[in-house]
């Protein structure tokens, strides 16, 4: 099972610091302290990034961690163990110091404190004791070294730790449950281009071993099915863990109802004691893809045609009126000339 070997530093509220303050003295805010915690053997860091422990129920083992003080002053660190979990971003973390462990973290025994000189390392034993009633599978935990930084108003606890993948041997269960939480269609701004089908889903590890899960989705329309689109890198899921993911399927034309076909494939780590591989989850949902951009374009074209026809009709009517006016004026002028000619004849009769 992959993961980070360091626990993200935490900032705790003042209510929790009352407990933590009993374990380690506060460090002045202007005294920078940096340190690291790494897996080790009895002599020092052994090159591992994660402590992997596999034990049968009722068994015990001893591991080690090395706490290295990279600062220029000696520091007394508070050492703790607690249950591990994954954050929303997928990074490994431990429960806060004020929260008692209830799973793998409760099976780890560590010293309460460790004083480490400037630029030095101290190797600490970690006793692992798996209860007789422990359920086979993964029980993630972590070990951290922390200090309190004395500020103007409240103290802040900072901690750095190492991940412990604690596995209880036996017939573990690998299972994944998933469901689509939402499916929608996002049209393209270009009416001559297709849009995207957006599928949101949630996956839950309902088994007793850690999994990685990756989703892919395809779209089905009246024109046929689109190729499946990968939803990104597989995400780790610890037992009981939950993730929310999104898969965006491009190249979908808005032609009414669109079927979203989602596939979520779980995988267990190599060497896991799982008798039955986890089943792939296949889901479907429907969204309406309305051709709004295309309808707007058609509407604009129709309006443009109507405007052009109206303008053309107005020009023809104006031209007809002008022609009628010209004919009327011509006829009136001709009648005027005829009357003038008759008048002239009467005034100047022709002599014979």
Q: Pick the more confident residue, 19 or 240.
A: 240
What counts of helices (H) and strands (E) characterise the chain? 2, 21
Neighbour count for residue 192 (Cβ, 10 Å): 8
Does one domain contain both 135 and 180? Answer: no
Do the beta carbons of residue 56 and residue 168 sit within 8 Å? Answer: yes
**Predicted confidence band at 120 (pLDDT cuts at 50, 70, 90)?**
very high
CA distance between the termini of the chain: 134
Average pLDDT, the chain: 85
For residues 122-136, average pLDDT: 96
Rounded to two decimals, what is the model's pTM?
Answer: 0.73
Task: Tell whether 27 and 154 lie within a shared domain.
Answer: yes
Q: Please check whether residue 108 is in contact with residue 126, taking contact to mean a CB–CB distance below 8 angstroms.
A: yes
- Say which CATH number the domain at 278 has: 2.60.40.10
Number of domains the chain contains? 3
- For residue range 159-190, list pLDDT tens digits in order: 999 999 999 998 889 999 999 999 999 998 88
Strand partners, 249: 197
Residue 351 predicted with pLDDT over 70:
no
φ/ψ of residue 298, rounded to 5: -60, -40
Same-domain check for residues 54 and 159: yes
User: What is the C-alpha separation between 89 and 322, in angstroms, rounded?
Assistant: 77
On whether both 267 and 300 belong to a single domain, the answer is no
pLDDT band for 312, please (50, 70, 90 cuts).
Answer: confident
Q: What is the SS3 assignment for 170?
A: coil
Whether residue 285 contacts residue 247, with contact meaning beta carbons closer than 8 Å, is answered with no
Statement to judge: residues 118 and 65 lie in one domain = yes
Q: Is 102 exposed, middle or buried (0-12, 13-18, 19+ CB in 10 A)?
A: exposed
Structure tokens at 252: 């979908």
Same domain, yes or no: 244 and 307: no
Average pLDDT over residues 212-227: 93
Q: Is residue 322 classed as helix, strand or coil in its secondary structure? A: helix
pLDDT digits (tens, 9 = 90+) for 49-65: 999 999 999 999 999 99
Q: Which of 17-26, 89-98, 101-110, 111-120 has the lowest mean pLDDT?
A: 17-26
**Structural domain containing residue 78:** 14-168
Q: Could you give the percent of the chain with pLDDT greater than 70?
A: 84
Which residue among 168, 184, 210 closes a domain? 168
3-state secondary structure (DSSP) of residue 33: coil
Mean pLDDT of 80-103: 93
Q: Residue 76 forms beta bridges with which residues?
A: 115
Q: Give the Cα-Cα-Cα angle 14, 115, 80 (nearest 5 degrees).
A: 50
Predicted local confidence at residue 53, as pLDDT:
95
What DSSP string runs through 72-96?
SS-EEEEEEEEEEEE-TTS-EEE--
Q: What is the pLDDT of residue 125?
A: 97
């Amino acid at each position: 099972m992959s993961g980070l070997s360091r626990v993200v530093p935490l900032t705790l509220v003042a209510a929790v610091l009352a407990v933590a303050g009993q374990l380690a003295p506060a460090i002045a805010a202007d005294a920078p302290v940096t340190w690291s915690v790494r897996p080790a053997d009895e002599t020092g860091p052994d090159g591992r990034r994660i402590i992997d422990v596999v034990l049968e129920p009722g068994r015990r083992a001893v591991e080690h961690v090395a706490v290295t003080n990279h600062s220029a002053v000696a520091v007394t660190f508070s050492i703790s163990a607690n249950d591990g979990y994954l954050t929303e971003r997928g990074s490994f973390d431990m429960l806060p110091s004020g929260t008692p462990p209830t799973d793998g973290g409760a099976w780890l025994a560590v010293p309460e404190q460790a004083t480490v000189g400037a630029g030095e390392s101290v190797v600490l034993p970690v006793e692992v004791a798996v209860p007789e009633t422990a359920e086979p599978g993964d029980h993630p935990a972590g070990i951290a070294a922390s200090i309190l930084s004395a500020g103007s108003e409240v103290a802040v606890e900072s901690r750095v730790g190492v991940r412990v993948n604690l596995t209880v041997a036996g017939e573990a269960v690998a299972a994944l449950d998933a469901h689509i939480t939402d499916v929608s269609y996002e049209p393209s701004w270009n009416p001559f281009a297709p849009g995207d089908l957006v599928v949101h889903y949630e996956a839950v590890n309902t088994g007793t071993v850690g999994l990685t899960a990756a989703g892919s989705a395809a779209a089905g329309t009246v024109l046929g099915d689109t190729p499946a689109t990968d939803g990104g890198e597989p995400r780790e899921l610890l037992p009981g863990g939950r993730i929310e993911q999104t898969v965006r399927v491009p190249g979908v034309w808005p032609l009414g109802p669109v079927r979203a076909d989602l596939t979520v494939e779980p995988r267990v780590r190599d060497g896991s004691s799982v008798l039955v591989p986890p089943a792939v989850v296949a889901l479907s949902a429907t969204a309406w893809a309305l051709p709004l951009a295309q309808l707007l374009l058609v509407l604009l074209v129709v309006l443009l045609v109507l405007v052009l026809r109206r303008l053309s009709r107005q020009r023809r009517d104006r031209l007809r009126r002008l022609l009628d006016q010209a004919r009327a004026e011509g006829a009136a002028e001709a009648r005027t000339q005829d009357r003038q000619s008759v008048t002239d004849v009467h005034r100047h009769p022709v002599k014979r």
